[in-house]
C-alpha cells in the first residue's frame, strides 16, 4: 500500500516562512513528477508547484519568487519552502505524486491527506 504523508504546516504571521515535506512510502517502483496543490475554503484546488523526475520545477504565478519546490530522490520526499507568506496563501496543502506501483503498469496519481497552512495578517 502506498502512502503520501505531509508535514510542516502550521500558523505563521504574514511575511513568515514554513517548509512543507511529503514522504512517499510503500510498494513504489518509480516516481515521476511530484507536486504541491492547495485548496482554500470555498475555492477550487489549484496547483502551487510541481517538479519533474529530472528536477525541473514549475510554479503558479502567485507563488513565483516566494516558494521553492525540491525533492530528495533517495528519500522519496518532496519539499515546499514557502517564504514571504501572505494571508492569501492560507489553505490546505496537498502533496501529489505520479507513482508506478506495479511492473508493466502505467503511472498513477496519489494524494496525501493535506496539511493546513494558516497565515495571519
Question: How do residues 42-99 score in pLDDT, each as one tens digit?
Answer: 999 999 999 999 999 999 999 999 999 999 999 999 999 999 999 999 999 999 999 9
Q: What does the mean pLDDT of the chain come to? A: 97
- As a whole number of angstroms, the distance between CA 72 and CA 95 comes to 14
| Digit-coded pLDDT (tens) for 14-25 | 999 999 999 999
pLDDT at 78: 98
- As a whole number of angstroms, the distance between CA 25 and CA 81 comes to 21
Q: Where are the beta strands (DSSP E) in 1-114?
A: 3-7, 10-13, 18-25, 30-39, 46-51, 57-59, 67-72, 77-82, 91-100, 108-111
Evaluate whether 99 touches 2 at the Cβ level (below 8 Å): yes
Confidence of residue 115 (pLDDT cuts 50, 70, 90): very high
Confidence of residue 1 (pLDDT cuts 50, 70, 90): confident
* Residues 103-121, mean pLDDT to the nearest whole number: 96
- As a whole number of angstroms, the distance between CA 72 and CA 101 comes to 19
Evaluate whether 92 touches 114 at the Cβ level (below 8 Å): yes
* Residues 94-110, mean pLDDT to the nearest whole number: 95
Amino acid at each position: 500500500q502506498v502512502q503520501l504523508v505531509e508535514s510542516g504546516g502550521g500558523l505563521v504571521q504574514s511575511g513568515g516562512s514554513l517548509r512543507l515535506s511529503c514522504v512517499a512510502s510503500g510498494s513504489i517502483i518509480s516516481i515521476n513528477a511530484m507536486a504541491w496543490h492547495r485548496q482554500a475554503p470555498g475555492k477550487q484546488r489549484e496547483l502551487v508547484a510541481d517538479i519533474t523526475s529530472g528536477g525541473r520545477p514549475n510554479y503558479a504565478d502567485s507563488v513565483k519568487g516566494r516558494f521553492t519546490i525540491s525533492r530528495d530522490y533517495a528519500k522519496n520526499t518532496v519539499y515546499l519552502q514557502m517564504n514571504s507568506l501572505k494571508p492569501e496563501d492560507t489553505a490546505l496543502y496537498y502533496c501529489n505524486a505520479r507513482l508506478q506501483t506495479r511492473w508493466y503498469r502505467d503511472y498513477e496519481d496519489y494524494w496525501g491527506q493535506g496539511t493546513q497552512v494558516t497565515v495571519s495578517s
